[in-house]
Structure 1
Amino acid sequence: MAGTEGEWRVRGLRGAITVSQNSVEAIAEAVNELLDALESQNTIDPSEIVSATFSVTHDLDAIFPAAAARRRPGWDQVPLLDVQQMQAVDGLDHCIRVMIHLNTPLSQKALRPAYLRRAAQLRPDLAFLS
C-alpha cells in the first residue's frame, strides 16, 4: 500500500551540502544551513522526527554534524547518528549528507530534499537553489 496524502507515515528526507574547509565553524554553519532549508521547505516539526543520520566525507572530522544539529531548538531529543560516507572514485569532497526519517502526512513525492552549494551536482534533478 503506497499511502496517500493526509495519511501519517514515516518518510525519508534527504539533503546534502558541501563545506569550504574542515573547521568546527564551517561544518556547524553548513549543517544549520542545510537543516534550515529542509525545515523551511518541508515544514518540519522536530518533535515529528524519528531519527537523523549524517554522513561526512573522509576529509571532514573537525566536529560531528550531529553535535551542531543537537544545538538547534527542538533537536536535543532527536536520535542522531554520524557515519563516514563511502569513499568513491570521483566522489564529491567536503560533503555532509543527511537522511531524516520523520512522521508526516505528506506523501514521499511531496517532500522536498535540499542539495546545496556544490552538493547540487549530486542530484541536479532535486537540487534546491536558494
Structure 2
Amino acid sequence: MVRGIRGATTVQANTVADITKETYVLVNEMIAKNKLKPEMVAHVLFTVTADLNEAFPAKVLRELNGWEYVPVVCAQEIPVPESLPLCVRVLMTVNTDQSQSDIDHIYLNDAVKLRPDLSLTNK
C-alpha cells in the first residue's frame, strides 16, 4: 500500500547551517518514528517558503547512508499571505502495510501550528 508521510519544521534564519540542521532533525524523526528504510520510499518532495533560499533541504536526505538512490526534489511553497515563515515541508511517499491512522506525521518547532491535530499524535 502507498502512503504519504508529512512533516514540517521551521528554522531560525535563512542560513545553510539552520536549514541543514533542522531538516536533518525532521527527516531523521520521520524515518525513526515510521521505521522507514530507503527501499520503502518511492520519492520525497521538499518545499520551502520563499524566505528560504540558502540551501536545498533535499541534500540532507541524499547524504544519509543508504538514501542516495531515493528520488528527491525541492520546490517553493506558494506565497500565501500571512503563511508560516521560514518553513521546510516534506512529503514522503512510501510503501507500507501501516494504516493511515498509524502513520506518524512529524511537525517540529513553529510548524506544529500547521497541523496541531497531527502534532498531538506524535509518539
Give your verdict on TM over 0.5: yes
CA distances 1:8-42 after superposition (whole Å, capped 9, x unpaired): x1110000000001111111111110011111111
User: Separation in 2 of the partners of 1:92 and 1:111?
Assistant: 24
Structure with greater Cα Rg: 1
Q: What does 1:45-60 correspond to in 2, within 5 Å? A: 45-60=37-52
Q: What SS does the aligned partner of 1:90 have?
A: coil
Match of 1:64 among 47, 51, 56: 56
Q: Residue by residue, what CA displacement relative to the aligned partner does 1:110-129 show, whole Å, maximum 9, x if unpaired?
A: 10100000000001111166
Normalising by structure 1, we get a TM-score of 0.90
| 71, 82, 96: which one aligns with 1:90 | 82
Q: Secondary structure at the match of 2:94?
A: strand
TM-score by length of 2: 0.95
Query: Which of 91, 111, 119 does residue 119 from structure 1 map onto?
Result: 111
Q: CA deviation at 1:76?
A: 0.5
Q: Does 1:40 align with 2:20?
A: no
Question: Is residue 2:41 matched to residue 1:22?
Answer: no
Residue-by-residue CA offset, 1:41-86 (whole Å, 9 max, x unaligned) = 1101111100000000001011111112111112100000100001
Percent of residue pairs bearing the same amino acid type: 36
- Paired residue total: 122
**Alpha-carbon distance in structure 2 between the residues aligned to 1:74 and 1:110:** 25
Q: Which runs of 4+ in 1 moved over 3 A?
A: none
Give the superposition deviation at 1:90: 1.2
Q: Which amino acid aligns with 1:12?
A: G
**Structure 1 unaligned runs (5+)?**
1-8
